[in-house]
Amino acid sequence: MSSVLGLRCRECDRQFPAEALHVCDFCFGPLEVSYDYDAIAAVTSRASIEAGPRTMWRYHSLLPVGNETPVSLGAGFTPLVRAERLGAELGLKDLWLKDDTANPTGSFKDRVVSVALTKARQLGFKVAACASTGNLANSVAAHAARAGMASVVLIPSNLEKAKVMMTTVYGGQVIAVDGNYDDVNRLCAELTSERPSWAFVNVNVRSYYAEGSKTLAFEIAEQLGWQVPDHVVVPIASGSQLTKIAKGFSELATVGLVDGDGSLRISGAQAQGCSPVATAFNKNIDAIAPVKPDTIAKSLAIGNPADGYYALAAIKNSGGGCGSVTDGEIIDAIKLLARTEGIFAETAGGVTVATLAQLAQRGVIDLNEKTVAIISGHGLKTVEALTGHVDPNHTIPATLDAFDAAVGFDDPLFN
């Protein structure tokens, strides 16, 4: 049984079959999966979901792969943690964190890649490929290994070392390209034309891939007791994750799993060095001007965001806000999150937490709102960003005298 009706152009509404298509061949608008929600509702209940695996695949019926066996490393159903100490620092009384650092390769990308490779296998592809700023590369290489597929991953050559190694270790082809992410992505878009037998997860199977982000919304609602929060704060690179989280909450209401998402507000988080969506939001214009990224938050450094228009619309329609933060604020926020909640996030998580602080301070987030922030990736991926910011307190010889001299008995912390 498949509840997928086909693909639909978000710009001009033309309909397409559910194949490896990603853009409308008339206007280049992105294609989106459309579903028969009555068919989904008929086979989906809170009980059927709760009886499913403790992964994102408990929402199988809301994902575009029919009955195909998932390509899965166990992504999803990550912790939703009440963040009392961070909330107290920011003046937010009901703050929650969706800790997607807990995914198998350390980022939310495992959600989208798990869907993309499942669909790619269903469509008969043998090779998985992608353009990536790192997190996607890690995840594609790992999931391809799991599925027994070949992989070809293109990355910018200046990527953090950990992200490169976390990709190469899985044994696929890794091609470092001189240029930034937008350059790599453009090469990938052109390659998609030239290598039609490859599944470029974020290009020709993007319509399916992107659906994986809906599971963030599904899980948040279920983990809150089948309740939609008041406010969600989401980092923006291409804008896809934010757009799909909005779609996810809306679908839950459509199929009757939650009572409605009418009051949900969605806010976006960007780094100042790459903030095309925040700029358009703050200028109150609909056109998103591409920028040349310059930020330590490389996983968000997309200067020409493909889903930026839709992310902007989702923010505006929900009454949310959009902030942008400096590299210094990002590093401070990574440390604040680690110190208060024991979660070590990569730079994108720093962007989200710093933006959370900014939006709370500006009154965009009400202090009593049930607010969920998405922490999308693990800090081990971007340790370079913290160089010089988190050194040991003392370096001493291995003697008690030296220790006592460094950490005295009169230190209030230890009495």
Task: List residues near another protein by CB under 8 A.
Answer: 11, 22-30, 108-109, 130-136, 179, 181-183, 185-186, 189-190, 192-193, 196, 201-203, 206, 209, 234-238, 240-242, 287, 289-290, 292, 299-300, 302, 304-307, 309, 348, 376
Min dist CB 313 to another protein, Å, is 13
Min dist CB 135 to another protein, Å, is 6
Nearer to another protein, 3 or 347 (CB): 347
Min dist CB 298 to another protein, Å, is 8
Nearer to another protein, 87 or 293 (CB): 293
Could you tell me which residues come within 8 angstroms of residue 231 by beta carbon, excluding any fewer than 6 positions away? 264, 265, 266, 267, 320, 365, 366, 369, 370, 371, 372
d(CA 248, CA 115): 15
Query: What distances in angstroms separate CA 363 from CA 298, 345, 356, one per listed residue?
Result: 28, 25, 11
Min dist CB 127 to another protein, Å, is 17
Nearest to 59 by CA among 72, 69, 48, 68: 48
d(CA 308, CA 352): 17
Nearest to 344 by CA among 389, 292, 396: 389
Min dist CB 262 to another protein, Å, is 26
Nearer to another protein, 29 or 79 (CB): 29
Min dist CB 287 to another protein, Å, is 8
Helix axes 135-147, 109-122, angle to 10 degrees: 40
Nearer to another protein, 116 or 257 (CB): 116
Min dist CB 404 to another protein, Å, is 48
Cβ atoms of residues 189 and 409 within 8 Å: no
Distance of CA 250 to the CA centre of its chain: 18
Nearer to another protein, 34 or 45 (CB): 34
Nearer to another protein, 11 or 84 (CB): 11
Tell me which H or E stretch contains 194. Answer: helix 181-194
Q: How many CB atoms lie within 10 A of CB 363?
A: 9
Query: Phi and psi of 197, rounded to 5°?
Result: -90, 5
Min dist CB 209 to another protein, Å, is 8
Cβ atoms of residues 152 and 173 within 8 Å: yes
d(CA 282, CA 249): 25
HSE of 258, CA atoms in CB hemisphere, 13 A: 24
HSE of 392, CA atoms in CB hemisphere, 13 A: 5
Nearer to another protein, 87 or 134 (CB): 134
Nearer to another protein, 234 or 258 (CB): 234
Min dist CB 317 to another protein, Å, is 18
Nearer to another protein, 158 or 368 (CB): 158
Nearer to another protein, 181 or 218 (CB): 181
Pairing of strands 265-271, 31-35: unpaired
Bridge-partner residues for 34, per DSSP? 6
Burial class (CB in 10 A: 0-12, 13-18, 19+), 101: buried
Min dist CB 405 to another protein, Å, is 46
